[in-house]
Amino acid sequence: MSIIDDFFSLKGKIALVTGATHGIGMALAKALAGAGATIVFNDLSAERTENALKEYKAAGINAHGYVFDVTDEKAVNESIAKITGEVGVIDILINNAGIIKRIPALEMSAADFRQVVDVDLNAPFIMSKAVAPGMIAKGGGKIINICSMMSELGRETVSAYAAAKGGLKMLTRNLASEWGANNIQVNGIGPGYIATSQTGPLREEGHPFNTFIVGRTPAGRWGEVEDLQGAAIFLSSRASDFVNGHVLYVDGGILAYLGKLPS
Ligand code: NAP
Ligand code: GCO
């Protein structure tokens, strides 16, 4: 066996990626499939799940799709039991499903704030708690939480998202602390600004954010979903067995950079 296979192969592993019908989730699922894992994913909509199954199939991936809401604890527990029966015990969980609401804090309702925290922070807790017993019984597992630049930084209009993603970084550290002795590694990936539907409104022609973010990123460009694939394979594989509670920022250097001097 080559050293690459020994460290990075995911053959025989079952990976569940939440919200993986498109965007970052689908790219991460495809990466894990390429490394040999069996892919399970979910979405809120049956139609999007069906379409994604076709897209995975076209890419040569025999994925398993389920429809459930990651914030609904009862539905999550029932779905994990179903997946365990139909596919097997989950070895790798990627908590990817997420939402954002860009509303200034003074105008944001508590209901909107709660909804963002529910999807971006409470749901990763619910999901992790649902898969951990299977991992513990099996002797270990990997959980990857998709964090954000907003796990470290704030900006106008994203108070709920920043609160949730900052909380997700600390949930990552806490679950790593609680479950490390069970050989479960809980880590995060912190994407920079990535071109997906979530950031579509910020990338529209002429939007000042587009120029702002390219200037704020030492790499000088938006990230592509493929930029995150290597980090996902690393944190899912044996290569990261002694990496725990870490957030790996894949941001083209944003967090290292003070920003350009105005010309
Ligand atoms: P996206 O295109 O909006 O995808 C988000 C996915 O989450 C969608 O498939 C969505 O399903 C699903 N989802 C939302 N609420 C759900 C729920 N309650 N139950 C199940 N699935 C649900 O966003 P993305 O850009 O790929 O982002 C993926 C993750 O990366 C998110 O956590 C996001 O915060 C994070 N992130 C993104 C960026 C970026 O620059 N794009 C940067 C850092 C972090 P539907 O399509 O059915 O709504
Ligand atoms: C925003 C963006 C971000 C990104 C991402 C950065 O409005 O500032 O949507 O929050 O999506 O999470 O890492």
pLDDT in tens, 177-193: 999 999 999 999 999 99
For residues 5-11, give the mean pLDDT. 97
Looking at the CA of 160, which ligand is closest?
Answer: 2
Q: Which residues line ligand 1 (CB under 6 A)?
A: 18-19, 21-25, 42-45, 48, 69-71, 96-99, 119, 146, 148, 191, 193-194, 196-199
Q: Does pTM top 0.75 for this prediction?
A: yes
Q: Which residues line ligand 2 (CB under 6 A)?
A: 100, 102, 148-150, 155, 158, 161, 191-193, 198-199
The rounded Å distance from CA 99 to ligand 1 centre is 6
For residues 127-135, give the mean pLDDT. 99
Catalytic annotation, pick one of 66, 161, 193, 249: 161
Predicted pLDDT of residue 221: 96
For residues 23-50, give the mean pLDDT. 98
Judged against a pLDDT cut of 90, whether residue 100 lies above it is answered with: yes
Q: Whose CA is closest to atom 27 on ligand 1?
A: 24
Active site residue 161: yes
For residues 115-131, give the mean pLDDT. 99
Predicted pLDDT of residue 23: 98
For residues 105-111, give the mean pLDDT. 98
Judged against a pLDDT cut of 90, whether residue 70 lies above it is answered with: yes
Q: Quick one: residue 261, left, alpha or beta (phi over 0 = left, psi -120 to 50 = alpha)?
A: beta
The rounded Å distance from CA 49 to ligand 1 centre is 14
pLDDT bin (cut points 50, 70, 90) of residue 229 is very high
Predicted pLDDT of residue 205: 80
For residues 211-225, give the mean pLDDT. 95
Judged against a pLDDT cut of 90, whether residue 204 lies above it is answered with: no
The rounded Å distance from CA 4 to ligand 1 centre is 30
Judged against a pLDDT cut of 90, whether residue 262 lies above it is answered with: no
pLDDT bin (cut points 50, 70, 90) of residue 206 is confident
Pocket test for ligand 2, best of 150, 151, 159 (most atoms within 8 A of CB): 150
* Cβ within 8 Å of residue 2, ≥6 positions away: none
The rounded Å distance from CA 256 to ligand 2 centre is 17
pLDDT bin (cut points 50, 70, 90) of residue 228 is very high
Lowest mean pLDDT among 71-80, 91-100, 234-243, 254-263: 254-263
Predicted pLDDT of residue 239: 98
Judged against a pLDDT cut of 80, whether residue 154 lies above it is answered with: yes
Judged against a pLDDT cut of 80, whether residue 263 lies above it is answered with: no
For residues 219-248, give the mean pLDDT. 98
